[in-house]
Amino acid sequence: MRIDFTGRYALVTGAASGIGRATARWLADAGITGLVLVDTDADGLSAVELACEVRRVVGDVGDPELWERIEAETPRLDHAVLNAGVPPSGVPVADMSAEQWRRVLGTNLDGVFYGLRCALRLLRGAGGSIVLTSSVAGIRPMESTADYGTAKAGLGHLAKVAALENAAADIRVNVVVPGSVDTGIWDAQEVFRQAVADSGEDRAAVVARVGALNTPRGRWARPEEMADCIGFLLSDLAANVTGAHLVSDGGISLVSARSRW
């Protein structure tokens, strides 16, 4: 069966880079008619050039007023990819400040709730599909990721409830669970920056070395591989799939939770 999104409209958050940008390109290649791209990075959004109608919205997904505006300005929606996120604060629970906790939960869980609520309202009466981007950190404990992992675990349960509530309305809600993906989110984490500085290697060499150490497949994933999973879940090929978690982590969840740098 050929995947064809001709005549459909989708929304993608975190679209300026990484998995979000790869997903937007995947949808454009699949014939999507129009996209709403959301990110805080105005320059990054401007650089995403696609062969379809594009509306770029610059804003923080953790701001409910942003979603009120998107809902009011979006006449039609068939699909949504709620992918925007920020990295963990990188500190143990005992040392984490309230501000650090709220920053991560505010984007990675509250922002998904606001976006999901908006998408469900826009899909009412017509049906459609939604995919949320979680993380392997939400299904297994990892040191210094309590804020991030808690948000991703909560996101998974939120998706299941929404899937149950909206199944009869032909609205599907699913979750993709990446492991280590080579995106810019790593560059914002002190542990990664320190690994690069200590090694004397360039970024690509550290990514290759850490991938070989910490993933059963021996490498980190590419954003385009996550876009393939998301596209499948959005598509009619997954027409009978809702409330599911598609774990695409290269086997990370099968091994010890301790990472080696």
> Could you list the active site residues?
148
- The span from the CA of 248 to the CA of 244, in Å, is 13
Order of all β-strands in the sheet with 9-13: 53-58, 34-39, 9-13, 79-82, 128-133, 171-178, 245-248
Retrieve residue 152's tokens.
């991703």
Retrieve residue 43's tokens.
């320059």
Burial 6-25 (b: 16+ CB within 10 A, else e): eebbbbbbbbbbbbbbbbbb
The type of residue at 34 is: G
- The span from the CA of 253 to the CA of 181, in Å, is 14
**Exposed, middle or buried by CB within 10 Å (0-12, 13-18, 19+), for 98?**
exposed
